[in-house]
């Protein structure tokens, strides 16, 4: 044969493959981490000057104030020796008297006094401490972190021009909430601070142009910010004040991987504020990972609690009767009423909105499949009263700040009880009262016990017993309750478990 003889390669002639020395990397990780942040400028965090009025409050006065203001409870989560929790501020002057521009903005808007979460959070944040704020929706959490953020940004030892990037980052779960936070920033303009809202569905090129020209505050949804970060359009090392807004919702939406990637590039000695309406295990874990020795302030209870300014009504109904009942509700609306109808699917939102439009009823819909321009238009129409009915998925259940919503109508029961709390929180805001109507079918019985607990906590115990009774009786299928002819009262169960009357509860099984 004329073929060439193949050379045989002995094993010892092969160079050894390089092996990653993980033990060495672990041993030196602290050194590399220190090198990564070595050249960053120092941070100033403590700007709090306690007023004489606040300092003179006795322990009894502090405890009484906390009890009378929605049962504010504070705790220091630092391990070991605990720090002194600062007294709450009862007036804006007690905390911002040295910041006349902020006081001028507050007077311009016309606020009378701080909300409970603001009164207790501001002294903590302005001392430079990390904070977890747990409060119901519509309680002023946004201003609780924005005002100290403005002071933090403008009081750093280096100027914003030398910073090399934004100084404050607010992460929010949805575009709507992010845009709303940006609107609050613009409303309380302070010393020429520039902000930008970065979110998916928006003009990416326009967002990149603004970010690269230089801004002070970035308000962002995690997905789009992670995109800009990975493509080196934004420098996050300059961030010294971080806010994780509606942390429970961000976890629900599966944003934790993006949050982790974002925080890799944010300096570890930053100040961090986390807000949430609930306090589940996932949020506790996130807080433990990304906050350092925080204090926690919660208004009301650490458990779920729907807003107590909302009257909650439960309608037990067959699936096929839901549309007819919604139609009855819409026909009985007063001219000044404004309602969000929550549904479980985007298709249902479009379907209901189309049905109402064909009847000549002005309506808008809001869900994740709509183009961003259409979503913004829908919200604007609803806020300005051009339409008084908004059909929406749970994209509208968080942070949607429309003060004059009179009713929340849960056409579909939410996928979990936390979402129920947030939906209900869209009404009864800014000192107003509201009403929530929830349709419950036999497919929703698994939520009955949790729903009863929430109703009982907001002093709606009569209703709770009715829900429990219906769930129990429906499962046994021993009764067939008909709707009352007046659709106003049902009294045929008045002797059961001490119920004397149940106003406007409708039974359609």
pTM of the predicted structure, to 2 decimals: 0.72
Which residues contact residue 376 at a Cβ distance below 8 angstroms, ignoring those fewer than 6 apart? 179
**388 vs 362: CA distance, rounded Å:** 7
- Taking 3-state DSSP, the helix, strand and coil percentages for the chain, each rounded to the nearest 5, stand at 40, 15, 45
Q: At residue 163, what are phi and psi to the nearest 5 degrees? A: -65, -35
Say what the pLDDT of residue 459 is.
63
| Residue from 397, 475, 478, 395 nearest 443 by CA | 475
Are the beta carbons of 315 and 441 closer than 8 angstroms? no
Which domains are delineated in the chain?
52-299 (3.40.50.300), 310-508 (3.40.50.300)
| pLDDT tens by residue, 46-94 | 999 999 999 999 999 999 999 998 889 999 999 989 999 999 999 999 9
Distance CA 456, CA 451 (A): 9
The number of CA neighbours under 13 Å toward the Cβ of 167 is 25
pLDDT of residue 382: 94
Instruction: Give the C-alpha separation, 183 to 402, whole Å.
Output: 13
**What pLDDT does 8 receive?**
56
Q: Which residues of the chain carry a pLDDT beneath 70?
A: 1-17, 137, 300-308, 398-399, 430, 458-509
User: Three-state SS for 384?
Assistant: coil
Q: Phi first, then psi: what are they for 284, rounded to 5°?
A: -60, -40
pLDDT per residue over 474-503, tens digit each? 544 434 444 443 333 333 333 333 333 333
């Amino acid at each position: 044969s004329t073929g060439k003889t193949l050379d045989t390669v002995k094993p010892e002639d092969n160079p050894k493959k390089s092996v990653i020395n993980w033990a060495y990397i672990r041993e030196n990780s602290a050194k590399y981490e220190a090198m990564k942040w070595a050249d960053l400028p120092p941070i100033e965090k403590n700007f709090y000057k306690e007023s004489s009025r606040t300092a003179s409050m006795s322990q009894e006065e502090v405890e009484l104030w906390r009890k009378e203001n929605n049962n504010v409870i504070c705790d220091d989560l630092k391990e070991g020796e605990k720090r002194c929790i600062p007294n709450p501020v009862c007036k804006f002057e007690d905390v911002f008297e040295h910041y006349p521009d902020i006081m001028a903005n507050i007077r311009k808007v016309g606020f009378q006094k701080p909300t409970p979460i603001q009164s207790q959070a501001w002294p903590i944040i302005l001392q430079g401490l990390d904070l977890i704020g747990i409060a119901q929706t519509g309680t002023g959490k946004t201003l609780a972190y924005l005002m100290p953020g403005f002071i933090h940004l403008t009081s750093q030892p280096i100027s914003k021009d030398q910073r090399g990037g934004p100084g404050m980052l607010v992460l929010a779960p949805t575009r709507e909430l992010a845009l709303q936070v940006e609107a609050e920033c613009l409303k309380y303009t302070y010393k020429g601070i520039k902000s930008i809202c970065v979110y998916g569905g928006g003009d990416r090129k326009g967002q990149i142009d603004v970010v690269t020209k230089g801004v002070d505050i970035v308000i962002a949804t995690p997905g789009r910010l992670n995109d800009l970060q990975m493509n080196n359009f934004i420098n996050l090392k300059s961030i010294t004040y971080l806010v994780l807004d509606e942390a429970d919702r961000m976890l629900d939406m599966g944003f934790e991987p993006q949050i982790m990637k974002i925080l890799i590039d944010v300096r570890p000695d930053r100040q961090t504020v986390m807000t949430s309406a609930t306090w589940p295990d996932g949020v506790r874990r996130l807080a433990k990972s990304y906050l350092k020795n925080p204090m926690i302030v919660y208004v009301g209870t650490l458990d779920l609690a729907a807003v107590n300014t909302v009257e909650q009504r439960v309608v037990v109904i067959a699936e096929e009767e839901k549309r007819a009942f919604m139609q009855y509700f819409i026909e009985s609306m007063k001219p000044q009423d404004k309602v969000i109808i929550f549904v479980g699917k985007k298709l249902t939102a479009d379907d209901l909105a189309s049905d109402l439009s064909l009847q000549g009823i002005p309506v808008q819909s809001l869900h994740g499949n709509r183009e961003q321009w259409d979503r913004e238009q829908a919200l604007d129409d609803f806020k300005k009263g051009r339409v008084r009915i908004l059909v929406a998925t749970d994209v509208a259940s968080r942070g949607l700040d429309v003060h004059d919503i009179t009713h929340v109508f849960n056409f579909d029961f939410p996928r979990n009880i936390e979402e129920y709390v947030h939906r209900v929180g869209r009404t009864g805001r800014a000192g107003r009262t509201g009403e929530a109507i929830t349709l419950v079918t036999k497919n929703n019985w698994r939520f009955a016990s949790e729903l009863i607990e929430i109703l009982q906590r907001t002093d709606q115990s009569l209703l709770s017993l009715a829900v429990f009774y219906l769930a129990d009786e429906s499962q046994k299928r021993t009764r067939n309750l008909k709707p009352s002819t007046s659709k106003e009262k049902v009294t045929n169960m008045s002797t059961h478990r001490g119920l004397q009357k149940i106003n406007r509860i409708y039974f359609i099984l």
